[in-house]
């Protein structure tokens, strides 16, 4: 009996191989520009290159300089494609619009063209590396029209390497083109600069970056809030690559949280200070509320916002207020409440006060950057701003001294000692309307408190020297206390300011908005405007023009 069995043979075929997942390409690589039309923010350079190619006035060496992520290496590859493109039919010449389908275009785009040599000067710094280029440049191109050397971060070549390159760079063979890219053009020797045609690639504007990020989000089928994209564009600081890296991170975050790329999530991810919180903090600084300012700073710090980022946001706000005071147009996509706050501060503060505030915040920013205790250094910097906000204007003091009269010193903040400024005459009539009270405060330099009243004071009744405000809506911290102190100082009478849990009249800001909307509706309903929209259904009345018409209409009614 045999122990073996004759079993039928089965052909199981090749074992099933696991399918390899396609490697993910980050957005900065996936959306690298493949044509000059896709290169954003560099129109002047593209025009110059296009004209040079059309007229056959091609330089033998190009130097591309600019900050990180503006497209230096991408531009170098596009120039290589433009010079070596032969067109779909194989008969084309150099063009500013390479076809992208011929063999040279595809090979250069894929980084495999034998006649387009890329070298990183950061890892090839020596004279031997340059000597290899010099020796190879003597031989004609294998398959392309030009042999092209792209040297990235060229400023990192050694002095000897630069010297070895000079002769070849000055008189290269006709078939050779050099393309240099650098972020630090000041480190490139003048002898090299003088042998190159230089292009300075500009920082990409935040508006262009935001539009580009919106296109990328749509292509990636990801919903993104415009405010979130604008936030990423500002954080990118003119660099498309940096912005796409941040957008990549934001999309990954949205994949976890769901609901697309949200402004709040981007703010948390970047550690940015909320704009509303920054406005509140600046308002507290300007009214001299030290305790309130420190509490607002600590709230931001507890949320993970870096103290240096808070000071940077304050500096940006002061800069924007100064531009508003100069009469600059509104920023694209700026929130109405932000613009209104800036206009209020611009009206209330002089240029001298704004410049002084800028210098104090800038000094605080530098101190925090070097401090061993950043949050404590930030608190001290803000307290210095609070103290300075109560100091007299040096120019006004000089005028008073020159006139020989008494020198008046503004009162200290409400949290400090009782003010000793001379009271107003007792016989002066007390204001009996909220507009009158605001006028008295503004006349005595209390612009911050006046702005608070305009925005928040819902009056139940005013019977001088008593005022009752509604507490149904939130009131700024210490506003009631500040009113009591400042009204006594400004009018010479002790005021009683209280709150009641009852509805009050609309605030001045609400009344202004209602009036504005009424005038806006009246303008849009006018026969001329309606006829224009009937004739051109797709027409849009710009918001700036509408605001101008509203202002003109309001002045007519006044």
Query: At residue 397, does pLDDT exceed 60?
Result: no
- State the Cα angle at 228 between 222 and 232, rounded to 5°: 100
User: Tell me, what's the pLDDT at 424?
Assistant: 39
Residue 120's DSSP bridge partners are: 152
Q: Where in the chain is the domain with CATH 1.20.272.10?
A: 275-389
Unique residue bearing structure tokens 């507890």? 302
Given a contact cutoff of 8 angstroms between Cβ atoms, the answer to whether 254 and 220 are in contact is no
42-77 confidence digits (pLDDT tens) = 888 888 888 888 888 888 999 999 888 888 988 999
C-alpha atoms less than 13 angstroms from C-alpha of 142 in its C-beta half-sphere: 7
Sequence-distant (6+) residues with CB within 8 A of 130 are 157, 161, 164, 165
CATH architecture entry for 275-389: Up-down Bundle (1.20)
Report residue 190's pLDDT band, with 50, 70 and 90 as the boundaries.
Answer: very high
User: Tell me, what's the pLDDT at 417?
Assistant: 33
User: Tell me, what's the pLDDT at 438?
Assistant: 86
Given a contact cutoff of 8 angstroms between Cβ atoms, the answer to whether 110 and 80 are in contact is no
Q: At what angle do helices 226-236 and 263-270 cross, to 10 degrees?
A: 30
Query: At residue 251, does pLDDT exceed 90?
Result: no
Rounded Cα distance between 227 and 460, Å, is 38
User: Tell me, what's the pLDDT at 221?
Assistant: 86
Q: Where in the chain is the domain with CATH 1.10.8.60?
A: 206-270
Q: Where in the chain is the domain with CATH 3.30.300?
A: 434-505
User: Tell me, what's the pLDDT at 62?
Assistant: 92
Query: At residue 223, does pLDDT exceed 70?
Result: yes
User: Tell me, what's the pLDDT at 122?
Assistant: 86
Where is average pLDDT lowest: 392-406, 471-485, 522-536?
Answer: 392-406
User: Tell me, what's the pLDDT at 556?
Assistant: 61
Mean pLDDT rounded to a whole number for the chain: 81
Q: Where in the chain is the domain with CATH 3.40.50.300?
A: 27-200
8-state DSSP, 274? P
CATH 3.40.50.300 fits 27-200, yes or no: yes
CATH 3.30.300 fits 434-505, yes or no: yes
Q: Within the chain, how many helices (H) and strands (E) appear?
A: 24, 8
Q: 499 — phi, psi (to 5°)?
A: -125, 150
Question: What is the full DSSP assignment across 146-166?
Answer: SEEEEEETGGGS-HHHHHHHH
Mean pLDDT of 176-194: 91
Report residue 272's pLDDT band, with 50, 70 and 90 as the boundaries.
Answer: low
Where is average pLDDT lowest: 95-99, 170-174, 307-311, 333-337?
Answer: 333-337
Query: At residue 554, does pLDDT exceed 80?
Result: no
Where is average pLDDT lowest: 186-190, 452-456, 527-531, 553-557?
Answer: 553-557
Q: Cis ω on the peptide bond leading into residue 465 (within 30° of 0)?
A: yes
Rounded Cα distance between 448 and 452, Å, is 6
111-165 confidence digits (pLDDT tens) = 889 999 999 888 888 899 899 989 988 888 888 899 999 999 999 999 999 999 9
CATH class of 206-270: mainly alpha
Mean pLDDT of 221-247: 87
**116-120 and 147-152 as β-strands: parallel, antiparallel, unpaired?**
parallel
Mean pLDDT of 519-539: 75
> Cα–chain-centroid distance for residue 517?
30
413-432 confidence digits (pLDDT tens) = 443 333 333 343 334 578 88
Q: At what angle do helices 336-348 and 275-286 cross, to 10 degrees?
A: 20
Mean pLDDT of 169-176: 89
Rounded Cα distance between 426 and 51, Å, is 79
User: Tell me, what's the pLDDT at 327?
Assistant: 82
Question: What is the full DSSP assignment across 473-520?
Answer: S---TTHHHHHHHHHHHHHSS--EEEEESS--PPPHHHHHHHHHHHHH
Answering whether pTM is above 0.85, one says: no
**Helix ranges restricted to H, 103-150:** 103-109, 127-137
> Cα–chain-centroid distance for residue 82?
34
């Amino acid at each position: 009996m045999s122990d073996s069995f004759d079993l039928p043979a089965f052909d199981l075929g090749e074992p099933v191989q696991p399918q390899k997942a396609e490697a993910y390409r980050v957005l900065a690589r996936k959306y690298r520009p493949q044509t000059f039309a896709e290169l954003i923010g560099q129109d002047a350079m593209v025009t110059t290159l296009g004209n040079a190619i059309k007229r056959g006035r091609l330089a033998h060496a190009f130097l591309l300089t600019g900050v990180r992520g503006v497209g230096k290496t991408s531009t170098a590859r596009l120039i290589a494609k433009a010079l070596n493109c032969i067109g779909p039919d194989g008969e084309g010449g150099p063009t500013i619009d390479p076809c992208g389908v011929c063999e040279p275009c595809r090979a250069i785009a894929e980084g495999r063209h034998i006649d387009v040599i890329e070298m990183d000067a950061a890892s090839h710094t020596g004279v031997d590396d340059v000597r290899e280029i010099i020796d190879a440049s003597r031989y004609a191109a294998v398959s392309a029209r030009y042999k092209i050397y792209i040297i990235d971060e060229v400023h990192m070549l050694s002095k000897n390497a630069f010297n070895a390159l000079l002769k070849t760079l000055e008189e290269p063979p006709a078939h050779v083109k050099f393309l240099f890219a650098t972020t630090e053009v000041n480190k490139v020797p003048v002898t090299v600069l003088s042998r190159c045609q230089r292009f300075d690639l500009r920082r990409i504007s935040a508006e262009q970056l935001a539009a580009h990020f919106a296109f990328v989000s749509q292509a990636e089928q990801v919903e993104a809030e415009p405010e979130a994209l604008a936030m990423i564009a500002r954080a990118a600081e003119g660099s498309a690559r940096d912005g796409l890296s941040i957008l990549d991170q934001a999309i990954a975050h949205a994949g976890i949280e769901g609901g697309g790329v949200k402004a709040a999530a981007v703010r948390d991810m970047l550690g940015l200070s909320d704009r509303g919180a920054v406005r509140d903090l600046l308002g507290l600084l300007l009214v001299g509320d030290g305790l309130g300012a420190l509490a607002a700073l600590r709230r931001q710090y507890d949320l993970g916002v870096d103290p240096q980022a808070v000071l940077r946001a304050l500096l940006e706000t002061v800069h924007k207020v100064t531009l508003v005071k100069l009469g600059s147009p509104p920023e694209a996509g700026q929130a109405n409440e932000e613009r209104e706050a800036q206009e209020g501060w611009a009206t209330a503060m002089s240029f001298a006060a704004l410049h002084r505030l800028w210098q104090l915040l800038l000094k605080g920013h530098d101190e925090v950057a070097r401090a061993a205790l950043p949050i404590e250094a930030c608190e001290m910097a803000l307290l210095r701003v609070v103290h300075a906000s109560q100091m007299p204007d040096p120019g006004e003091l000089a005028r008073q001294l020159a006139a020989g009269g008494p020198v008046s010193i503004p009162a200290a903040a409400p949290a400090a000692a009782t003010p000793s400024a001379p009271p107003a005459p007792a016989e002066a009539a007390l204001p009996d309307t909220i507009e009158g009270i605001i006028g008295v405060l503004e006349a005595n330099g209390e612009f911050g408190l006046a702005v608070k009243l305009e925005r928040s004071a819902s009056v139940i009744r005013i019977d001088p020297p008593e005022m009752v405000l509604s507490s149904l809506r939130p009131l700024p911290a210490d506003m009631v206390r500040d009113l009591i102190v400042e009204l006594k100082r400004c009018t010479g009478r002790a005021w009683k300011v209280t709150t009641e849990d009852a509805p009050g009249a609309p605030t001045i800001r609400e009344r202004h908005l209602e009036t504005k909307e009424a005038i806006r509706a009246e303008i849009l309903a006018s026969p001329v405007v309606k006829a224009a929209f009937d004739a051109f259904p797709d027409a849009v009345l710009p918001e700036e023009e509408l605001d101008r018409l509203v202002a003109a209409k309001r002045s007519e009614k006044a």
